[in-house]
Structure 1
Amino acid sequence: MSFHVPSSAAIAIDRPAMPGPVVVSVSHAGRIYPPEILAAARVDRSTLERLEDSWCDLIAAKAVEAGATRVQALWARAVADCNRGEGQMAPTEVVPSLRPRFSAPGRKERAGLGVVPTRLADCGSLWKRPIDGPQLDWRLDTLHRPFHRALAAELAVAQRLFGRAILIDLHSMPPIPRGQPGHGAGIVIGDRFGGTADEALIKSIIDEAEGLGVPVSRNQPYAGGHIVRTHGKPMDAIQAVQIEIDRSLYLHPDRTPDPERVAALRDWFSGLVETAGRICPAGDVLPLAAE
């Protein structure tokens, strides 16, 4: 199969009229499936859609109004997973010539959830053939690398303008199964166990999350993936936090959005962005302009 770069953009960057130090990333809510992807799949589109953080981009819809720059993947996660590193993939999922590049897969990669998602538990392989070099390069060059270049650039601008930058990486999750760490939590805040953000910022975000009246977990079972690990650099005044929201808080059982509950979460997230933007590295809170 021949892969090329279509003219449509794989990512969107939305900047506020009055910029602030917060950058919001939405990497798994893309709903555009390039024809090359659908042709390469051995499953139907509805199966590929199960990889999505369904409609969580709606929660970030007012983030720009709240002063954040939003970097969003428009192409689907089935193309490439921007929350995995380029080396995160199981060797068995690629052609033999590529296997030396993926020599130490973790649990998620072995399950088929690497930088290119390759399988789901109840349907087997997603693709007609193992991933080869041209497929991998196309997926990385058209989505994964542009997404990370955009994030890095926007964070650098915020750090230069404000002396600090805050990345909020927004995701959604299925309900956490009984017996798993974090079971019952509606929101999971991930900071790589203190490695990507300071306590003042994390406490502020947890306080905002608890204001929704749902249980909140920190780092269990999601401590933060490749995005916060790569871009969070607290020593350079760039902090990064991953937020996972239980989909049952805003979706109907058929995975369609519930407008009323989406609106509530959208307003909540907008307020969280405003609050995070006022937290300085030392833990001080800047006053609002009207105060």
Structure 2
Amino acid sequence: MAVQNLMTFKAGSTPILLNVPHAGTLLHPEVERRLRPAALELKDTDWHMDKLALPCAELGVGVMAAQYSRYVVDLNRSADDAPLYSGPTTGLISQIDFDGQPLYLEGQEPDGQETKARIQSYWAPYHQALKAEILRIRAQFGTCILLDLHSIRSEVPRLFDGVLPDLNLGTNSGASTAARFEACAERSLGSGQYSFVKNGRFKGGYITRHYGQPDQNIHALQLEIAQSTYMIEHAPWDLVPPKAEMLGAAIKNLVTALLDEVNTTRG
């Protein structure tokens, strides 16, 4: 089954691709009718990340963003749903939210057949498109930098203790990117404007770990952003314009720094 409106995509003219896999809010009607009322708030969405990423297209970077909710399928998990972290988490087609609460009405959880169908209809074509664009960029420029953008509520006790730092850079402990790009991102993000940590609770999900292959000139970095930096962290999940503008500028500064670094390396 081909799914319409699976993603938005704006091609770039530089070696950088921004990917936003969790900002989508679309639900297939068959999924929507089976979710609990609380789940329909979609509180685990990376709210507005696609909007914050899009202005970076002005710098010539590509921007890809999923349109369907992570409650349909989580694009940042492997197709075999192998665990990424040793602590509590959620799955490829999760039946619980970040707080551990059930997503589905009792008896309405997806079975194995539905799981396979969702992988084929949503997960596989998205990753095919993502991989194709990464390879196209590398073929054109000799290298590709994938920046995977995420956000999360600043306090989720089931997932992490206390309050999450504002900006959380993940490079799979340095394995997903060359050291020069990791250092470049660290300088940009750790300038003092926001609290910052590298390879803390969020080291990078499946996308960062799978596609980041520095020895093949594909470099992947994940940026997990605390939602308190740009929005109200409860329904209706509204942006706070002054905060959002400041964060948008920080994301643009990061992209600019990475562009400068890759151009210096290529030069």
TM-score per shorter chain, which class?
Answer: 0.7 to 0.9
Q: In the alignment, does 2:262 pair up with 1:262?
A: no
1:79 aligned partner = 72
State whether residues 10 and 64 of structure 2, in contact with CA within 8 Å, keep that contact through their aligned partners in structure 1.
yes
- Relative to structure 2, which stretch is displaced further, 163-172 or 118-127? 118-127
Work out whether 1:123 is the aligned partner of 2:101.
Answer: yes
Tell me what 2:165 maps to. 185
Aligned to 1:32: 26
2:18 counterpart of 1:15: no
Corresponding residue for residue 222 of structure 1: 202
Corresponding position of 1:278: 260
Q: Deviations over 1:29-74 (max 9, x none)?
A: 0011221210232x02654501211222222021211111111101
Q: Is 1:205 equivalent to 2:182 in the alignment?
A: no
Structure 1: any 5+ residue segments left out of the alignment?
Answer: 90-103
Counterpart code for 2:139: R
Runs of 4+ in 1 over 6 A off after TM superposition: none
Distance in 1 separating the partners of 2:164 and 2:7: 33
Q: Matched residue pairs, number? A: 262
The amino acid across from 2:58 in the alignment is: E
Which runs of 5 or more residues in structure 2 are unaligned? Answer: none
Secondary structure (helix, strand or coil) at the match of 1:214 reads coil
Structure 2 residue matching 1:205: 3-state secondary structure? helix
Aligned to 2:232: 252
* Residue of structure 2 in register with 1:159 after alignment: 138
Counterparts of 2:175 and 2:103, CA distance in 1 = 35
The reply on whether 1:168 has 2:155 as its aligned counterpart is no
Per the alignment, do residues 29 and 212 of structure 1 end up closer, same or farther by CA in structure 2, a change over 3 Å counting?
Answer: farther
With normalisation by structure 2, the TM-score equals: 0.88
Contact residue 182 and residue 220 of structure 1 kept, 8 A: no
How high is the TM-score relative to the length of structure 1? 0.81
Letter in 2 for 1:221: R
Contact preservation (8 Å) 1:67, 1:274? no
Which residue of structure 2 lines up, in the alignment, with residue 100 of structure 1? Answer: none
Root-mean-square deviation over aligned CA pairs: 2.7
Q: Is the 8 A contact 2:164 2:226 kept in 1?
A: no
Q: Which has the larger radius of gyration?
A: 1
Deviation at 1:212, TM superposition (A): 5.7
Per-residue CA deviations over 1:204-235 (Å, capped at 9, x if unaligned) read 11111123611210110110010011111100
Deviation at 1:200, TM superposition (A): 1.1
Alpha-carbon distance in structure 1 between the residues aligned to 2:207 and 2:39? 26
Determine the C-alpha separation between the residues in 1 that align with 2:261 and 2:63.
19
CA distance in 1, matches of 2:18, 2:190: 20
**Which residue is equivalent to 2:174?**
194
